[in-house]
């Protein structure tokens, strides 16, 4: 079974609108971290935001917030006020406490921001 699932291969959003990118995960480890990365066409993977399994509040970093619903095993990324520069591939990833240095990635969502 896939550990990280991103069900939206591609999405469009109008500039200045908010957009939600979906991520569901599967783990039996009670201790885990969830990460979102942005990958523009240039190739660099840019770390955006982190949520730990024991964190009580949803993580926020500027225009990025993580909608963490632990019971549903979902960790959706919300980007507010989309900008043209947000057009990129977005990857959700998980690190389980019992998996050492292993980071498991989802298949990614390509976001395209329309002017």
Partner 1 sequence: DTEVTQTPKHLVMGMTNKKSLKCEQHMGHRAMYWYKQKAKKPPELMFVYSYEKLSINESVPSRFSPECPNSSLLNLHLHALQPEDSALYLCASSQQITGFTDTQYFGPGTRLTVL
Residues that bind partner 1 (CB under 8 A): 31-33, 35, 37, 42-47, 50, 52-53, 91, 95-97, 100-103, 105-108
- Dist. CA 91–CA 76, nearest whole Å: 11
Q: Please, which residue, 43 or 62, has the CB nearer to partner 1? A: 43
CB 111 within 8 A of CB 86: yes
Q: How far is the CB of 16 from partner 1 (least distance, A)?
A: 28
- The CA-based angle 106-30-98, given to 5 degrees, is 70
Q: How far is the CB of 47 from partner 1 (least distance, A)?
A: 6
């Amino acid at each position: 079974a896939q550990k990280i699932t991103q069900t939206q291969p591609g999405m469009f959003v109008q500039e200045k609108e908010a957009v939600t990118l979906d991520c569901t995960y599967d783990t039996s480890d009670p201790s885990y971290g969830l990460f979102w990365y942005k990958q523009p066409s240039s190739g660099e993977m840019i770390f955006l935001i982190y949520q730990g399994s024991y964190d009580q509040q949803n993580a926020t970093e500027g225009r990025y917030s993580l909608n963490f619903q632990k019971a549903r095993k979902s960790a959706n990324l919300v980007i507010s006020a989309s900008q043209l520069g947000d057009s990129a591939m977005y990857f959700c990833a998980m690190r389980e406490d019992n998996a050492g240095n292993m980071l498991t990635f989802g298949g990614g969502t390509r976001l395209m921001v329309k002017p």
